[in-house]
Amino acid sequence: MTLKVMVSGATGFIGQALVTSMLKLGHDVSALNRSKADNLPRGVKQVVIGDLSNLKSSQIVDDLRGIDVVVHTAARVHVMNDTSADPLAEFRKVNLDGTMALARQAAEAGVKRFVFLSSIKVNGESTRPGKPFAAEDEPAPEDPYGVSKAEAEAALLTLADATGMEVVIIRPVLVYGPGVRANFNSLMRWLSYRVPLPLGMIQNKRSMVALDNLVDLIITCLDNPAAVNQVFLVSDGEDLSTTELLSRVGVSLGKPAILLPVPAWLIRSSAGLLGKSAMAERLTGSLQVDITKTRDLLGWIPPVTVDDALLETTRSFLSNE
């Protein structure tokens, strides 16, 4: 069935891939952007201009009329060294207030479903061994970004009760794929330069999700009746230690990883002295999610394996080096 879908953040890492896939499936796609953009996939029906940090009441209601589904991927993203005087206020301005302004106008326009891309940070920052996060867990965000996303989730579900507009919430873990930036891109660069890394003895477990798998789940949630007013966690379904991840990325790059056998406790201690405790936790700590609900309720299986996704990611990285 062809759907009329509006995507916010359509020029972003996730948004571009999502729009491209939906167009291939024959959906009628519009984009909500802060400004006109030259890098939108060809075939986008219209571009609606709207800034989430200042989306006025009823500003885009007319543009939303006739839209079946809004997929909201735009956000003020998590930043490592936020210099804002009040980081939570800045995150709320976009991730809570902007999200709700868009959602209320969607409900007013008669949009049937609102798919919200949230974050695993709503659940928390780390998990204990063998105790993955589940969709039913009580939210426990630990930073302003996670708090703003948790507040938006709660407000959206309240709006769904009040208006009848269906809401679907998806909490991704780390997303990787062609064009990925930030820490994952840095890891590929270090490995491509054959930099020895002190990460050969890490026995943690971390969930990740390939961009293609995340896009597939979002598309599944566009019209699946079982998704109504539900929260879903998403991953590749295979959790890796940092050591395993680097080894497999090295294989995909054709540059075997040089990993030194340094104990995790020593990495954490050394990082603490350098003021890099958060980075050490991401490299040595665990963060796992249980996607049983996502599989069972939606009948969804990640279509892309980790190794295939890593190969596609590294090929893109090498082609741009």
Question: What's residue 83's pLDDT?
Answer: 66
> Of all helices (H) and strands (E), which one includes residue 24?
helix 13-24
Whole-number mean pLDDT of the chain?
91
Comparison of pLDDT for 146 and 76, the residue scoring more: 146
> Which parts of 193-287 fold into alpha helices (H)?
211-220, 242-253, 264-273, 277-284
Say whether pLDDT at 80 is over 90: no
| Three-class DSSP category at 280 | helix
Q: How far apart are CA 145 and CA 78, in angstroms?
A: 6
Contact 193, 161 (CB under 8 A): no
* pLDDT level of residue 45 (50, 70, 90 thresholds): confident
Q: How far apart are CA 288 and CA 128, in angstroms?
A: 9
> Which parts of 178-231 fold into alpha helices (H)?
182-192, 211-220
Catalytic residue among 114, 116, 145, 300: 145
Highest mean pLDDT among 183-192, 213-222, 281-290: 213-222
Q: Where are the domains of the chain?
A: 4-178+208-237+288-305, 182-203+240-284
> Which token pair is 151?
């507040």
Say whether pLDDT at 208 is over 80: yes
Strands 28-33 and 4-8: parallel
Contact 67, 112 (CB under 8 A): no
As a whole-number percent, the residues of the chain with pLDDT over 90 amount to 71
Q: Determine the average pLDDT of the residues in 246-255.
A: 95
> Which residue has 């909500």 as its token pair?
32
Question: What's residue 64's pLDDT?
Answer: 94
Q: Determine how many CB atoms are found less than 10 A away from the CB of residue 68.
A: 18
* pLDDT single digits (tens) 253-308: 999 999 999 988 888 888 787 777 788 888 888 999 999 999 999 999 999 999 99
Q: Which of 27, 62, 61 is nearest to 45 (CA)?
A: 27
Q: How far apart are CA 1 and CA 99, in angstroms?
A: 27
Say whether pLDDT at 238 is over 70: yes
As a whole-number percent, the residues of the chain with pLDDT over 70 amount to 97
pTM higher than 0.75, yes or no?
A: yes
Say whether pLDDT at 81 is over 70: no
Say whether pLDDT at 85 is over 90: no
Question: What's residue 274's pLDDT?
Answer: 75
Question: What's residue 122's pLDDT?
Answer: 97
Q: How far apart are CA 72 and CA 85, in angstroms?
A: 27
Beta-carbon-side half-sphere exposure of residue 17 (alpha carbons within 13 Å): 19
* pLDDT level of residue 77 (50, 70, 90 thresholds): confident
Q: How far apart are CA 228 and CA 4, in angstroms?
A: 18
> Which token pair is 162?
């009040």
> Of all helices (H) and strands (E), which one includes residue 33?
strand 28-33
Q: How far apart are CA 175 and CA 118, in angstroms?
A: 12
| Three-class DSSP category at 38 | coil
Contact 204, 284 (CB under 8 A): yes
Question: What's residue 155's pLDDT?
Answer: 97
Say whether pLDDT at 102 is over 60: yes
Say whether pLDDT at 109 is over 90: yes
Amino acid code (one letter) for 134: A
145 belongs to the catalytic site: yes
Say whether pLDDT at 70 is over 60: yes
Q: How far apart are CA 314 and CA 179, in angstroms?
A: 9
Say whether pLDDT at 107 is over 70: yes
> Which token pair is 142?
């630990």
User: What CATH architecture applies to the domain 4-178+208-237+288-305?
Assistant: 3-Layer(aba) Sandwich (3.40)
Strand partners, 32: 8, 48
